[in-house]
Amino acid sequence: MRSFALLGVLCLFTMGSAGCGTTVGADAAAPRMRQVADAWKRTEAARAWREGYYPLEDAVRLPDGAFHNEADKLAYLHRNFTLRRALPGSTARHGHIRWTSGASLPATIMTARQAYETLDRGDDDGPGAGDAPLTVTEAVLGTTTLNTSRGPARVPAWLFTLDGYDTPLKRVAVAPSKPPRAPVRSLSEGTDSGSRLYGLRSVAEDGRSVTVGAAHGACDDGPTVDVLETRDSVVLSGGVRGVDDGPCTMQLLVDPVTVRLDRPLGGRLLLDAFTGAPVTMTG
């Protein structure tokens, strides 16, 4: 079992005034990590996970060369889009997710409007309200290849043509499968056996590292993530380093931490030791 420290800052949440938690080390986390790994062995939950669709990449694929300028980049970051013409009809469709192994899974395809609304979250009074929007000139249903917990898969996707770009923005048009119920109970807040993780951010192309969101406070030296690898699973446990026991503003900081693995993740379950559940993509 190994421990990995913070690689960069991601986001900031609530504020107040209080102390900022306790340091969690690998020794304290080890029994819980082993408990979670053992609990998932040869269970119905593990079987259900291996038969489902769980992406390991973001649902949006940007056009080639994105972005041409800072204005377009800001428009995307602020989810500021506009339509030049009406979207295709609103009837939901049925399709399939197809893996390179030959396996397939039926799926309901979201409408073009539903997919577009996941992109266009602009608020007339919110961030980016004054930015020039990205203009969608056409939307057609197609496919894209996405890495999943079962390997690469061809999945339905809406292809949105953006004004000024030669290739479309692709938005995956199917939702992930509902995660199975964990065969082990979640820990309670305040335990000395670790802290919850805040979603999967990315998996390296070679599968030898994963990046997850990990929490810490304002008066420590940042988060750590311990890892326990087994044949069937990779269990991660969040913690913090160098806690100051004095007065501290009460903040929750969530930072991306990259964990390097001894061998590729492959089809192994990626589990959160705190919740006992799989770590899934955020956003």
Q: What is the pLDDT of residue 131?
A: 72
Apex 146 CA angle, 230 and 270, nearest 5: 20
Determine the Cα–Cα distance for residues 227 and 90; give it in Å rounded to an integer.
45
Q: What is the pLDDT of residue 91?
A: 72
Q: Check pLDDT > 70 for residue 122.
A: no
Determine the Cα–Cα distance for residues 153 and 100; give it in Å rounded to an integer.
6
Q: What is the pLDDT of residue 61?
A: 96
Q: What is the pLDDT of residue 2?
A: 64
Give Cα separations from 283 to 124, 174, 200, 228 (angstroms): 22, 14, 10, 26
Can you say whether the dihedral through the CA atoms of 63, 64, 66, 69 is positive or negative? negative
| 169-172 and 223-229 beta bridge pairing | unpaired
Residue 280 CA to its chain's centroid (Å)? 5
pLDDT interval class at 192 (50, 70, 90) = low
Other Cβ atoms closer than 10 A to 157:
25
Query: Where are the strands (E) in 100-217, listed by range?
Result: 104-109, 134-148, 151-162, 169-172, 197-203, 209-216
Say if CB 211 and CB 259 are below 8 A apart: yes
Determine the Cα–Cα distance for residues 104 and 155; give it in Å rounded to an integer.
10
Determine the Cα–Cα distance for residues 283 and 281; give it in Å rounded to an integer.
7
Query: Where are the strands (E) in the chain, listed by range?
Result: 2-5, 11-12, 60-61, 81-83, 93-99, 104-109, 134-148, 151-162, 169-172, 197-203, 209-216, 223-229, 233-240, 253-260, 269-272
Domain boundaries, the chain: 2-52+180-272, 60-172
What one-character-per-residue DSSP string does 57-74 give?
Answer: S-SEEPPTT--SSHHHHH
Residue 104 CA to its chain's centroid (Å)? 23
240 compared with 68, residue with greater pLDDT: 68
pLDDT tens-digit readout, 84-107: 999 998 777 899 999 999 999 999
* Fold (topology level) of 60-172: Lipocalin (2.40.128)
Give the predicted TM-score (pTM) of the model: 0.82
pLDDT interval class at 216 (50, 70, 90) = confident
Q: What is the pLDDT of residue 129?
A: 57
Q: What contacts 134, CB < 8 A, 6 or more positions away?
A: 72, 75, 76, 80, 81, 82, 162, 163
